[in-house]
With several copies, the nearest count.
Chain A
């Protein structure tokens, strides 16, 4: 009985079986098509197949820092309708944005302005400190968009729960408030908790600082925020990055989002 693969006639054989392909004792990434398939030339191409009725996570946190602005703009041009948007904030819209940042900026507000969204799930649909003229708040007040308001930490954990294949979790956040309405409650070890369920999506639009060619991601400062958990929780994750570098250029100890969570990369230099 031969326990080892042996080389015979210049071909590797094993137990008398001839190998069709020579195994090499190394996985070398030579000639693979894996990386090439992830890199897109434009945001428009990267969002082209987003379909009507899709659920879409949009990264970022508040008014700026980590918002995938170029992907949002591409999606507004692409025109998919009846979308469910999962994001921390509903966006202020371009008009109000001038109050926050000189020159203003685009955010998810344009998706609402365009009438592309039927439901929003997030922790700050509209900012109480701003006038009630954000596109989402106007549409909600007109009964044209549904809102599911979720405490921010619960939102982050529901995303992680969806990413990690769990069925739900018990949190003390929301007990005694409107958040507990309609939800199962349970006392565990003497404390009251609410059952919260996972969130997943068809697509995530996120922003990172750098990607390598495999799709490993690093972020910059507070622009990390909701991007990593959304990358993990969506079926197809599309990222816009400031810089695309060759595989192996990111230190393996500092990669925040492993490449298996990233499906499409668009480089949008700042």
Chain B
């Protein structure tokens, strides 16, 4: 087996989807890394559902201010032109369709784009946070996730068995093995991690992958 991609690489691939001027919300965990991976010639406005628009990269230890955090509780840095608002206003933006892209983690994604990213068996007290609102409100939902569980069980499935966040919402899945688009005809395999083959990735996927005509190695 070849190497799987690391979290930084997955996040960098996701960040490549951000167009100039786009408004992007980064979900809990790995997606937060995208804030550090924006090329200098692009403007990306990061929105955070705790009430902030236009923050910069994650704070270094010296920069940390615990009253300047993203929704994953990570201290971030200020940028010119940023602004603050309350939680109700933050979700008006989100439900109102003003977020261009949200990058979320997931436990499972189905071939129809159903997302399960908050609850898991044995942990009924965990909650969805702002994930449902983001999944319903953002114009484009990108999922970054590991292709399988630690035990090799596929996380990309024909039907989700974990509690749903929202149905038919995911557009693009970026994993440590591949980049897949959700289409009307199911999962379109667009890019593969270096050295991986279609059969190898299909074997680790719980739904049918259709290789794209222009299937290629992941580009960053």
Instruction: Decide if the interface of chain B is mainly helix, strand, loop or mixed.
Output: loop
Q: How many residues of A contact B (CB 8 A)?
A: 102
Given A3-B6, A247-B80, CB of A23 within 8 Å of CB of B193: no
By a CB distance below 8 angstroms, the chain A residues around B5 are 14-15
Q: Report the minimal beta-carbon distance from B9 to chain A, rounded to whole angstroms.
A: 4
Q: A222 to B69, Cβ gap below 8 A?
A: yes
Q: A252 to B83, Cβ gap below 8 A?
A: yes
By a CB distance below 8 angstroms, the chain A residues around B12 are 5, 14, 19, 23
By a CB distance below 8 angstroms, the chain B residues around A214 are 54, 81
Q: Which of A16, A147, A164, A260 touches B125 (beta carbons < 8 Å)?
A: A147
Q: Measured between alpha carbons, how far is A123 from B133 in the docked complex, in Å? A: 11
Q: B92 to A1, Cβ gap below 8 A?
A: no
Write out, one digit per residue, whether chain B residues 190-220 have a CB within 8 A of any chain A CB (1) or not (0).
0001100000000000000000000001111
Write out, one digit per residue, whether chain B residues 30-69 have a CB within 8 A of any chain A CB (1) or not (0).
0000011111111111111111111011000000011111
Any A CB within 8 A of the CB of B152: no
Instruction: Decide if the interface of chain A is mainly helix, strand, loop or mixed.
Output: loop
Q: A225 to B38, Cβ gap below 8 A?
A: no
Q: Report the minimal beta-carbon distance from A258 to chain B, rounded to whole angstroms.
A: 5
Q: B67 to A65, Cβ gap below 8 A?
A: yes
B positions within 8 Å CB-CB of A: 3-9, 12, 15-16, 20-21, 23, 28-29, 35-54, 56-57, 65-73, 77-88, 90-98, 118-120, 123-133, 136-137, 163-167, 193-194, 217-220
A positions within 8 Å CB-CB of B: 1-5, 14-34, 61-66, 88, 90, 100-101, 122-129, 132, 134, 136-137, 140-141, 147, 149-157, 159-160, 163-166, 171-179, 212-214, 216, 219-229, 232, 247-248, 250, 252-253, 255-256, 258-261
With A123-B129, A247-B81 known, 12 other A-B pairs at CB within 8 A are A15-B6, A23-B12, A23-B36, A24-B40, A26-B56, A34-B43, A123-B127, A126-B126, A153-B137, A176-B164, A176-B166, A225-B86
